[in-house]
Chains A and B, each alone.
Chain A
Amino acid sequence: MTAMDLDPLWISLKTALTATAITFILGIFTARWMSQHEFKGKSLLDGIFILPLVLPPTVVGFLLLWLLGRNTWLGSIFFAIGRPVVFSWSATVIAAVVVAFPLMYQTARGAFEQIDTNIEDAARTLGASEQTVFWRITMPIAWPGIAAGTILAFARSLGEFGATLMLAGNIPGRTQTIPVAIYFLVESGKKQQAMIWVLVILLISFFSIAALSFWTKYQRRFSHRPAREVSADS
């Protein structure tokens, strides 16, 4: 294998890590905001956030292609500044963020909403500012859920194929991620090379799942058991 051949790995990792970082911040922010506010049309907005999870990736890709293409004002801005998104490396990141976002958002929101509001209120009565409450109480308690969401988001952005192909295409050395590479290798009959990439993906996914189960155990340590009575108590 020449050095050139490793490009899909670096592109995939770079894309997945960047996308995970963006999803992490965006997902937590949105989840926190949604769990703290009540308004009309909340469930509709919630549905829109979850939508990429249920739509076929090609549909997501098609919509993104339309949104970021020349025909919308958003897309034309990028064209005007000379950095079109379509068929660029950023397109791989955008596609990955959009498909991974629902996983991060949903798990983080679940984690936030599971927290007993009395615990946060207790911190407030003990002199904690909203920031302190969030960083010292909410985040640590929600952390196992957030970590699980992050790992899921990472795995999902690493495996993204449909939307990436539609929006970023298959440009070796620029937008060709491992899943895209596998598809085109198999199509051109290079089964053995495809197998190597398949093994790489299997390995990364295995580690992701191992990490996830580690966090699940970590979560159990903090699980808030119901108060039990002990007669000889002291």
Chain B
Amino acid sequence: MLILSIDIEKSLPEFKLKVAFQLDQEIMAVLGPSGCGKTMTLKCIAGLMVPDQGSIILDERVLFHSEQGVNLPARERKIAFLFQNYALFPHLTVCENIAFGIRQLPLAERDERVQKLLRKMRLHGLGHRYPADLSGGQQQRVALARALAPEPKVLLLDEPFSALDTQVKERLEAELLELQEDFQGHVLFVTHNLAEAYRLSSKMAVYDNGVLLQWGECRSIIERPVNKKVARMTGMDNIFSGIVSKIEGCRLEVQLDTGHLHLYMDYPGGLVVNQEISIAIRPEYIQVADSQEDNCLGAELLSCTEELSFFKCVFRLQDQVQVKVHLAKISEQVLVPGQSYHLRFPPEKLVVIGPHLQNFHVKKGHIKASACI
């Protein structure tokens, strides 16, 4: 099985990293705020830092194993690392930079591969320039070409797009996705940008302060966060606590803590009546209903800000709880702050937050839900 498996621990003064996850030959994003140990993980995988404990196994080859006493030096790991600041060799030309990792190859073969990468990365004509004479995007592509030249098994990217402007960034993202199609290996990239992680990767690992909170398929993390921290980090802004008041077949009725409000949702299983739970919904799933409909709550609009592609509204339920709602611009409704509206919470979009629910099959199908305010 071609799997990159990481299970490591490393302690620094006032910081501890403890993570374990696996990835196939796919793109995985490591998401988290700065200083949470994302880059450290990459450096441990590349062999630039030594974990205190654990193992790193690449396609059945042991790169690091504390118990077996294995620790391959970085130069033997065949892992490419794309640094945030590119880390190009300033005293070498673009060609020489790219050729650095394949200097043991015969000259003709080396030249051929360098030329191929120059073409692929749209760097033709720049081969004899020095890195200082290139733009940020060009430097980024040279760094990528240099990393790919030795045909690595793993590509590690440390915040690859953070220093670039939107246009350059979009093009590079497209290139990365294109690259993935003929790159036979594992790609792990670090970012603090949720949208970027979601767009580019198939799996995600969410970090906070050295701890791996959750990892898995992007969609499952976005839709089924295991705790409130992951929910907040992945933009699931509306989190309510409450208790299970009724379970009817595959319908769950939740009484919110702060008042006598009830919401219905799809029953994910594994719950009992009177259990305390947190439920959450992403701001883009809440609708403003014309009239009192199923699963609606009355709310007063506090503010409405126009964003690039949606309206960002904040509502207040009758028990002072605030609800964030993103409304599509296509809606013709004109919302006036201070007015009262009905907010509809689609039952299938409400989720129960909790680690014990991660493996439950989510029952689909229409459930009739009614509001009871």
A interface residues, Cβ below 8 angstroms from B: 116, 118-119, 121-129, 136-137, 140-141, 221-225, 227-231, 233-234
- Give me 30 A-to-B residue pairs in the complex whose CB atoms sit less than 8 angstroms apart, sorted by A's number: A119-B88, A121-B43, A121-B81, A122-B81, A122-B88, A123-B89, A124-B47, A124-B74, A125-B80, A125-B81, A126-B100, A126-B101, A126-B149, A127-B76, A127-B78, A137-B89, A141-B91, A222-B90, A222-B132, A223-B132, A224-B90, A227-B86, A228-B136, A230-B135, A230-B136, A230-B138, A233-B135, A233-B138, A233-B168, A234-B122
Q: With an 8 A cutoff between CB atoms, is B347 at the interface?
A: no
Interface size on B, residues (CB 8 A): 44
Name B106-151 residues within 8 Å CB distance of A: 122, 130-132, 135-140, 146-147, 149-150
Contacts of A141 in B (CB 8 A): 89-91
Cβ A229 vs Cβ B164 within 8 A:
yes
Cβ B75 vs Cβ A124 within 8 A:
yes
Cβ A118 vs Cβ B91 within 8 A:
no
Q: With an 8 A cutoff between CB atoms, is B328 at the interface?
A: no
A224 to B75, CA, bound (A): 25
Cβ B132 vs Cβ A225 within 8 A:
yes
Min CB distance B296 to A, Å, is 48
Cβ B165 vs Cβ A229 within 8 A:
yes
A231 to B138, CA, bound (A): 11
Cβ A125 vs Cβ B91 within 8 A:
no
Q: Mark B54-83, 1 if CB is under 8 A from A, else 0.
A: 000000000000000000011111111101
Cβ A118 vs Cβ B137 within 8 A:
no
Contacts of A125 in B (CB 8 A): 46-48, 74-75, 77, 79-81, 147
Beyond A118-B84, A222-B91: 6 further Cβ-contacts under 8 Å?
A121-B43, A121-B46, A122-B83, A122-B87, A126-B149, A127-B150
Asked whether A227 and B91 contact (CB < 8 A) given A121-B74, A123-B100, the answer is no
| A124, A125, A137, A221 pick with most chain B CB within 10 angstroms | A125
A234 to B150, CA, bound (A): 24
Min CB distance B301 to A, Å, is 40
Q: Mark B161-202, 1 if CB is under 8 A from A, else 0.
A: 001110110000000000000000000000000000000000
Contacts of B140 in A (CB 8 A): 227
Cβ A229 vs Cβ B136 within 8 A:
yes
Q: With an 8 A cutoff between CB atoms, is B11 at the interface?
A: no
